[in-house]
Amino acid sequence: MRKSLRRSIAGALLALGASSALPVTAQAAANEQFFPLATYRVGAYASSGIPVWAGMIDYLRYINEVEGGINGVKLVWQECETEWTAEKGIECYERFKNGLNGAPVAVYQPNGAPAAYALADKAAADKIPLITLGYGRTEATDGSVFPYNFPVMLTFYSEASAVVNYIAEREGGFDKLKGKKIATVYHDSAYGRETQGPLALLAEKYGFENLQIPVADPGNEQSAQWRQVRQAKPDWVFLRTWGVSTPVAIKTAARFGFPVERIVGDIWASSDEDVLPAGEAGKGYLALTPYPGGAGFEIHRKIKEHILDKGKSDLKDPKSFGSVYYNSGLVNAAIAVEAIRAGQAKFGQRPLTGDEGRWGLEHLNVDEARLKAIGFAGLMQPLRLSCSDHEGGGAAKVQQWDGAKWNLLTDWVQADRQTLRPLIEAKAAAYAKEKGVTPRDCRAEQ
Amino acid sequence: MTTLSHSLPAAHDSAPVELLRRRLPWALLALLAVAFGLVPWLGNDYWLNAILIPFLVLSLAGLGLNLLTGYTGQTSVGAAGFMAVGAFATYGLLLRVPGLPLPLALAGGGAIAAGVGFLFGIPSNRIKGFYLMVTTLAAQFFLEWVFTKFPWFYNYASSGTISAPRLEVFGHDLHSPTGRYLLTLSCVVLLTWVAVNLVRSQTGRNWMAIRDMDTAAAVIGIPVDRYKRLAFAVSSFYLGVAGALWAFAYLGTASAGSFDINRSFQILFIIIIGGMGSIAGNFVGAAFISLLPLLLNYAGQNLLGGSVDAGQLQNLQKIIFGVLIIAFLIKEPEGLIRLLGNLRERLARWPLRF
């Protein structure tokens, strides 16, 4: 036994020696802002991720090369593979949080629900704001309890409300919702369960019947679920799947004879990559998105001219240009860039730290005029954040797949955020109590 | 080369037949002094949070599985399921028993995991080998399902995740990376010490007898069934504590998805690569599994970053990692610890050959 213990010492020393070869960051960069990219290019979700990173990198390149950086501050970025897991997400965050060669981190995008949950407390301790567009803790909308978490644009609660509002519009008013059946087929994970609370509340308010049908990860066999749907005969299905489970759901629904034009996919089931594998069955499928697909927006013209046509794009497949995930990368990058710009207005035109990045986010105000100026009109909704509201917009567009591309059916469908706010505040208060956090006074933060 | 490895004694611990000479393990004491004194003082957040804590927790999980698989010979692919039991039980105890100190909650979580492990160990009376492995696979899926299905386990949180309500020992707040590192290290050192003594005791000798041939063990009067169940319980205790540390000291939050089948395989690979039936092998295996991908990642980024497409680079690292595992196992099927042992023997006689 003693022998193997001594061996373990030898082993540990060997491991230590090997890892001390890790590089150390040196030399300070004067005027650069570090933009960490926590990506997933391998693993089950890689096909969703790859176009997102292309969108982000193309926009950052565009800012650097065409606009000369953010007010002259150049962006530098480096990738780190997370495989969409919490462990690697933490490793990447720890690797990047102190910046790169002296260029500081102003905002961090964990790009993955497990990592976002795991990093929430760590980022608050390090004073680095986390931007989670379309995922992450919903109760972080209450910025007085979660100063460093920004579930911007569309939380899961708003998403649930927007779907109900859209269905009400299709049915001809909220009074027509009474007695209707809305089934939610969801990925059985933290992500999938987030809409249960708001849907229960809205079902009570409008009198529709709320069915919840879980799909176990990864969801590549869903006969049982769709048999259940067929038995219940709901008027609408809200599809909250992710990755491979989306095309499987669409195909299985077709097999069980549920009309595809009565299925509304959520933000993570709303891209070309989700419907293409479903083939013919996907024709007529509806989906909700805060960043509609399409390559006809002003920013696409600029990026095509300056990045794509010059061969500088990160896109592997040029057909993905303007896909929903590519556009989500653009929107994600634009929010970060605009937040840094907002922070620079107060702190001066220099690279910002995490705490200054938080200030920038809490004073972010991207209105219609600004959207037009940066070329995002129609692609992104007006977004105004504050200390007490870390979400901002809360609207989504509904698009329909015609077999080849997405067509927009509606303008922005606004969520009923006032109704859901007490639910969010109650959750935030419960969190504050459990963790012993004293909420900030947001009136003092102006 | 091949003749050489056959001439050495077996790597895994055989039941000792003579009393060992007692000596103070100076090297071990020095390592402990460095780990407890120097590392928290020198280490930065990255080293503590992203490298040392997961390494230690995985080592502990490997140790737990090794007691069952390496010492008692019962292959299990349900390790992560028992880790989940430990994590959720510790969370439940901290949440629902006010004033319960953290060490007791960890021990309680481990004890509950031990109970569950005991239950799932009962089939080992009747079935063996691959068939028993399938029952542990069932345990894995069943436990994962339980912690997703019943909201009581995660206190009705909307997202189904749990997070540590408080991390303090005798009034000391352990939320800082250093605090969490010291908590993990203390648990690992204590439990490793217990394991070292356990496998040297009569219990350990009985386990090894069962591993080597259970019919023979039964013939010489070892109550085989009881010791198999005991191995399941003890192994699950270790895995439970490791699971709680994984959730609270490392991730800070966890859901059933943090303990999926991939985690079970990861732990099984740790003991296969490190060395079955060896305490030290778990540490070497955990270092290999958790640190080598990082090293490859840094190497890839520095050598090829920018010139090779980022996606290809990631896949390339996976390929190299896989090739290394295969190469090491071909070179030495008994694990890295045996390889290091050979190296040590050879260095001791260098430059002579034997």
pLDDT at position A22 is 41
Q: What end-to-end distance do the CA atoms of chain B give, in Å?
A: 10
Answer whether A87's CB lies under 8 Å from A359's CB: no
Q: What is the pLDDT of residues A218-271, one digit of tens each?
A: 788 899 999 999 999 999 999 999 888 899 999 999 999 999 999 999 999 998
Per-residue confidence band for B3, with pLDDT thresholds at 50, 70 and 90: very low
Give the helix/strand (H/E) hosting A263. strand A263-265
Per-residue confidence band for B13, with pLDDT thresholds at 50, 70 and 90: low
Q: Which CATH number fits domain A156-289+396-415: 3.40.50.2300, 3.40.50.10800, 3.30.540.10, 2.40.50.100?
A: 3.40.50.2300
Euclidean distance between CA atoms A95 and A88, whole angstroms? 10
Closest chain B residue to the Cα of A192, Cα to Cα: B159
Euclidean distance between CA atoms B115 and B89, whole angstroms? 11
For the complex shown, is ipTM > 0.95?
A: no
Write down the mean pLDDT value for chain A. 89
Question: Cα dist. B244→A73, A167, A180, B250 in Å?
Answer: 44, 43, 44, 9
DSSP state of A111: -
A11, B344: Cβ pair inside 8 Å? no
Euclidean distance between CA atoms A415 and A428, whole angstroms? 20
Is pLDDT at B208 greater than 90 in this prediction? Answer: yes
pLDDT at position B22 is 66
Interface of A with B in 414-443 (CB under 8 A): 427, 434-436
Amino acid identity for residue A323 in this structure = S
- CB of A224 within 8 Å of any CB in chain B? no
B251, A121: Cβ pair inside 8 Å? no
The domain segmentation of chain A, as residue ranges, is 26-154+294-384, 156-289+396-415
Closest chain A residue to the Cα of B262, Cα to Cα: A85
Three-class SS of B177-199: HHHHHHHHHHHHHHHHHHHHHHH
- CB of A127 within 8 Å of any CB in chain B? no
Mean pLDDT value of segment B224-243? 97
Euclidean distance between CA atoms B77 and B133, whole angstroms? 6
B280, A5: Cβ pair inside 8 Å? yes
pLDDT at position B354 is 59
Residue of A5, A98, A114 with shortest CB distance to B28:
A5
Per-residue confidence band for B15, with pLDDT thresholds at 50, 70 and 90: low
Q: What is the pLDDT of residues A66-80, one digit of tens each?
A: 999 999 999 999 999
Per-residue confidence band for B196, with pLDDT thresholds at 50, 70 and 90: very high
Cβ contacts from A onto B, under 8 A: 160
Mean pLDDT value of segment B119-128? 92
pLDDT at position B16 is 58
Answer whether A123's CB lies under 8 Å from A93's CB: yes
Euclidean distance between CA atoms B103 and B213, whole angstroms? 38
Per-residue confidence band for A12, with pLDDT thresholds at 50, 70 and 90: very low
What sign does the dihedral B191-A5-B321-B331 (CA atoms) show? negative
Architecture of domain A26-154+294-384: 3-Layer(aba) Sandwich (3.40)
B50, A94: Cβ pair inside 8 Å? yes
Domains A26-154+294-384 and A156-289+396-415 share a fold: yes
Q: Which domains does chain B have, with CATH numbers?
A: 47-349 (1.10.3470)
A137, B23: Cβ pair inside 8 Å? no
Q: What is the pLDDT of residues A378-398, one digit of tens each?
A: 999 999 999 999 999 899 999
Euclidean distance between CA atoms B296 and A39, whole angstroms? 17
pLDDT at position A20 is 41
Higher pLDDT, A412 or A446: A412
DSSP of A264-313, one letter per residue? EE-GGG-SHHHHGGGGGGGTT-EEEESS---S-SHHHHHHIIIIITTT--
Q: Tokens in use for B176?
A: 């800082």
Is pLDDT at A23 greater than 70 in this prediction? Answer: no
Mean pLDDT value of segment A117-134? 92
pLDDT at position B160 is 78
Write down the mean pLDDT value for chain B. 89
For the ranges A34-43, B3-12, B234-243, the lowest mean pLDDT is seen at B3-12
Which residues, 6 or more positions from B149, have their beta carbon under 8 angstroms from its beta carbon? none
A15, B51: Cβ pair inside 8 Å? no
State the Cα torsion A213-A217-A221-A224 to the nearest 10°. -20
Among B351, B353, B320, B324, smallest CA distance to B336 is for B324
* Interface probe with A: pick from B253, B266, B317, most Cβ of A within 10 Å: B253
Give the helix/strand (H/E) hosting B90. helix B79-96
Is pLDDT at A304 greater than 90 in this prediction? Answer: yes
Closest chain A residue to the Cα of B30, Cα to Cα: A9
Is pLDDT at B39 greater than 90 in this prediction? Answer: no
Distance between A302 CA and the closest CA of chain B, angstroms? 24
Euclidean distance between CA atoms B38 and B222, whole angstroms? 45
Among A184, A194, A237, A236, smallest CA distance to A215 is for A184
- CB of A231 within 8 Å of any CB in chain B? no
**A17-53 residues labelled b (16+ CB within 10 A) or e (exposed):** eebeebeeeeeebeebbbbbbbbbbbbebbbbbbbbb
Answer whether A374's CB lies under 8 Å from A334's CB: yes
